Structure 1
Amino acid sequence: MEQHSPLLHRLENGNLQDDNDIPTITNCKEASKEWWKESKKLWILAGPAIFISLCQQSFLATILTFAGQLGTLQLAAVSIANTVVAGFSFGVMLGMGNAVETVCGQAFGTGKLDMLGLCLQRSLVILNTTALLLTVTYAFATPILKAVGQTDEIAEAAGKFAVWTIPQLFAFAMNYPLARFLQSQGKLFVMSAISGAALIVHVIFSWLLMLKLGWGLVGAAIMLNFSWWIVVLGQIAYIFSGTCGGAWTGFSWSAFHNLGGLLRLSLSSAVMMSADFMYMMALLLMAGHLKNAEVATDSVAICINLVFWIYMIYLGFNIAIGVRVSNELGAGHPRAAKLAAIVASCTSFVIGLMFMMVILITRNVFPMAFTTSSVVAKAVSKLAIFLAVAVILNNVQLLLSGVAIGAGWQTFVACVNIVCYYVLGVPLAILLGYKFDLGTKGMWGGMLCGSALQTAVLCIITIRANWSREAMRAESRIKTWGGGFTHQSST
């Protein structure tokens, strides 16, 4: 197939560039000009994506804030349920949804819009089937949490909360394919409006149900479910309205063909992304085995919640760079894809440094936003330096993961994550935390060593990438997964 590829012909003749790709940069003035152009393209995508991510992370942040007003047990229960049970599912669904970003982004760059709708439908089938399987972890959350060492009181409360949030699991399964379908086309402003409206409803009714009406954790679960489904239904309404043009022409039986290719990429993406969430989950679970487990769990949970909140900003860059790289590779513009990766990496790193400084300066202040317990707040303050380093590493790592998603490197990066996190990071955290009796500081220090190695490996593979070859692989992927089907709309 490749010998007939026009992209391969251009590569062999040293002409993999056209009017839409960047020219060869020979001086600082040209570099500055191209950098500025790429920065504008990046922020057009990253700005709305960051807003969307912050709104959706604020669903949980709001619940945690109100839960902290109810008591330390309620805060621990919500934290454990969302970090361990829902956090695992969130990582799986987010990761599997990223396969849609790879394929739809590259197909959009190629101009094969009909592939986007097929890919969306295939992903919805795959993710909802996965969600059905994952309901087992929600139903048996209590015994699972007890088995990994949580106290009976926390496990019972977290398990009941998890069962109430099963509808949120299926909202995840719907949301991420829909979101990646729209993002690959650059339709982020309407998504911003939907998420913003959902957040306003969420804050008002969470306060009403949890605090004013006294529904407690049941009210928290109801609002998490409801808010996520507002986002899902809003996106469905927008897609069905016909505003996506040739990217959505209705349901098709062709979506049930060739599921294997997308399934393999989805599974690799799931392992790649869920490894990150499970890494933080492991830290929270280990904290439950320390002396004064409730304070240790609450302090780590607050830090992780803040990491995830900042993570949502980085996720905006992850989405933006994934779209930029996939679109440019699909269009056969390897130089533009490489420049996008460089500009996004530098921009995100600078933002990470700013957050690091804010955390260190406010280390004695920000914990009080999450808890009324002075003991827990003091414990959080002692972890501020580890939190600040984690923010920087997560910043670079997530940005480079977005490059990997845009290029389709998920399988390789998934292997890197497993080795760095679970062969190095977790064993070292256990050794420092328990054997050397360094507690949460030792655990977090060990985990950061795994994160540092993983970030270094991602930097190396991104720098050494052959972007011309990646453009060829993008063309090959679209031909393999998009060819051979006659689109037959049923709507």
Structure 2
Amino acid sequence: MIMDNSTEERLLSPEELNSSDLKRRVWNESKKLWVIAFPGMVARVSSFGMIVVTQLFMGHISELDLAAFGLQQSILLRFVDGILIGMSSATETLCGQAYGAGHYHMMGVYLQRSWIIDGVTATILLPLFIFTTPILTLIGQEENIAIEAGKISIWLIPILYSYVFSLTIQMYLQAQQKNKIVGWLSAFSFLLHVLLSWLFVIKLGFGLAGAMSAFIISSWLLIIGEFVYIFGGWCPNTWKGFTKAAFADMLPLVKLSISSGVMICLELWYSSILVLLAGYMKNATVAISAFSICLNINGWEFMVCLGFLGSSCVRISNELGRGNAKAAKFSIKVALVTSIVIGLIFWVLCMVFSREISYLFTSSEEIAESVSRLHVLLAFSMLLNSIYPVLTGVAVGAGVQSMVAFVNLGSYYVIGLPVGILLGYVAHLQVTGLWVGLLGGVGVQTLLLSYLTWRIDWNDQV
């Protein structure tokens, strides 16, 4: 979105900080953020919603299927999703800066390079899906849960390869502010998934096969729709067709993809490890089910906040590409305040309706009671979700992912994880102790990211 240069230069002029000018600037920046953020929210909420809906129907098949899918979704799917989301965020950085600088033809090249890199990465990860049962058995998970999880993991292989395309295409379209189509297609896929899940599981009684088939069909229909949009001529400036240039000069993208992957993976694997630890507690089926239900509720709200991560990344990378540091800094402030307001709304909802939410996933009183005991910690996790994704988006937009990787490593694995283990096992707080550790790690990460953002020299970034 191109703006008048004189307007941009005045964004943060001290002599013009009167209330009317400030309101106008906030309003204009908010419109630009929401144009990018809202379709991104719809896409991410719908995409994650398909996982949640699948788990919801699994819970009405059997407690064992609920625990097995919760284990798979919270560990294996989150593990590979973290790698591919992280590596795909390199596409977001490069496409955003290319669009801001007016190098439109390079965006299609970056997209094709990301397909190659992510496709190879997905293939390397394939053995994790094939040998899930022996891996889970080896690390001490209950045998019946490990066997059922192994059955589910084979069904997840098509989902693995769908991420290669869905994540990169969304970031490619988002960088050029054409992600409305992604929002519409994602919403349609989600509604179709709910319908197919009801038809296959409840009406026709296909059980596990029905729930997973609905998941696969809905995921790939979304990608087919995106292919039609790109190849059909709706991106004439950025998509010039397939090219051999996609195979050339890949090393810079590989390096950025790896640093991006490490940054996101350290974040997403953190909660996965805590779910794994829940599997070693007394009554593992209840512990895993309750913890994964809370993570799904937390994750669904996190998808809303990821819309601001994407919009912050695009706005900042666009402005850096144009050479405007003042506009980049102002965008951070507006995105952060807006996201925090949304986080406060979710905090209130979680405090009021915690027990009612748990019954959407299970009819077990024991699991519902375990979920209800975590509602205060869950509410504060949702509040922090509204802050650190925006700050992560700032880092992605500026291309300083490697610094955030070190922040995540220290926050989660030096502080959060040890605290969770001590409280969960030594202090015998069980799942509550694990979640306190999770919350502590996120809190430290938020403080460090705030300091990192404050210390960035935006003129130097330009």
How far off its partner does 1:33 sit?
2.0
Number of aligned residue pairs? 455
Q: Which among 28, 45, 53 is matched to residue 18 of structure 2? A: 28
Equivalent runs, 1:64-463 vs 2, <5 Å: 64-463=55-454
AA matched with 1:28 = N
> Which whole-Å CA distance do the structure 2 matches of 1:60 and 1:160 have between them?
17
> Which whole-Å CA distance do the structure 1 matches of 2:293 and 2:66 have between them?
9
Deviation by residue 1:342-367 (Cα, 9 ceiling, x = unmatched): 11011101111111111011122211
TM-score, length-scaled by structure 2:
0.96
Deviation by residue 1:414-472 (Cα, 9 ceiling, x = unmatched): 1111121111111111111111111111111122111111110000111121111111x
How far off its partner does 1:37 sit?
1.2
> Which whole-Å CA distance do the structure 2 matches of 1:401 and 1:28 have between them?
30
AA matched with 1:296 = A
> Which whole-Å CA distance do the structure 1 matches of 2:140 and 2:386 have between them?
31
Deviation by residue 1:170-212 (Cα, 9 ceiling, x = unmatched): 0001111111111100001111221122112211111111222
- Indicate the SS of the match to 1:370: coil
Deviates more, 1:21-30 or 1:265-274: 21-30
> Which whole-Å CA distance do the structure 1 matches of 2:454 and 2:129 have between them?
41
Deviates more, 1:239-248 or 1:96-105: 239-248
How far off its partner does 1:19 sit?
4.7
> Which whole-Å CA distance do the structure 2 matches of 1:18 and 1:162 have between them?
55
CA RMSD in angstroms, aligned pairs only: 1.3
AA matched with 1:86 = L
How far off its partner does 1:55 sit?
1.2
Q: Structure 1 pair 345/66, CA: closer, same or farther in 2 (3 Å)?
A: same
AA matched with 2:170 = A
How far off its partner does 1:60 sit?
0.9
- Indicate the SS of the match to 2:233: coil
Equivalent runs, 1:19-58 vs 2, <5 Å: 19-23=7-11, 24-26=13-15, 27-29=17-19, 30-58=21-49
Q: Structure 1 pair 21/182, CA: closer, same or farther in 2 (3 Å)?
A: farther
Asked if structure 2 preserves the Cα contact closer than 8 Å seen for 1:110 and 1:327, the reply is yes
How far off its partner does 1:401 sit?
0.8
Asked if structure 2 preserves the Cα contact closer than 8 Å seen for 1:22 and 1:336, the reply is no
Asked if structure 2 preserves the Cα contact closer than 8 Å seen for 1:321 and 1:402, the reply is yes
Q: Structure 1 pair 237/406, CA: closer, same or farther in 2 (3 Å)?
A: same
> Which whole-Å CA distance do the structure 2 matches of 1:182 and 1:107 have between them?
13
> Which whole-Å CA distance do the structure 2 matches of 1:20 and 1:383 have between them?
46
How far off its partner does 1:18 sit?
4.8
Deviation by residue 1:134-166 (Cα, 9 ceiling, x = unmatched): 111111111222233321111111111011110
> Which whole-Å CA distance do the structure 2 matches of 1:225 and 1:328 have between them?
38
> Which whole-Å CA distance do the structure 1 matches of 2:261 and 2:385 have between them?
17
1:465 equivalent in structure 2: 456
> Which whole-Å CA distance do the structure 1 matches of 2:311 and 2:284 have between them?
39
Deviation by residue 1:389-435 (Cα, 9 ceiling, x = unmatched): 11122221111111111111111101111121111111111111111
How far off its partner does 1:20 sit?
4.0
How far off its partner does 1:77 sit?
1.1
Equivalent runs, 1:469-488 vs 2, <5 Å: 469-471=460-462
Deviation by residue 1:332-386 (Cα, 9 ceiling, x = unmatched): 1111111111110111011111111110111222111111011110110000011
Unmatched runs of 5 consecutive residues or more in structure 1: 1-16, 472-491
> Which whole-Å CA distance do the structure 2 matches of 1:21 and 1:157 have between them?
60
Deviation by residue 1:249-291 (Cα, 9 ceiling, x = unmatched): 1111111111110011111111111222211111111111111
> Which whole-Å CA distance do the structure 2 matches of 1:166 and 1:231 have between them?
17
> Which whole-Å CA distance do the structure 1 matches of 2:138 and 2:406 have between them?
27
Asked if structure 1 preserves the Cα contact closer than 8 Å seen for 2:420 and 2:436, the reply is yes
Asked if structure 1 preserves the Cα contact closer than 8 Å seen for 2:8 and 2:326, the reply is no
> Which whole-Å CA distance do the structure 2 matches of 1:147 and 1:272 have between them?
28
How far off its partner does 1:229 sit?
1.0
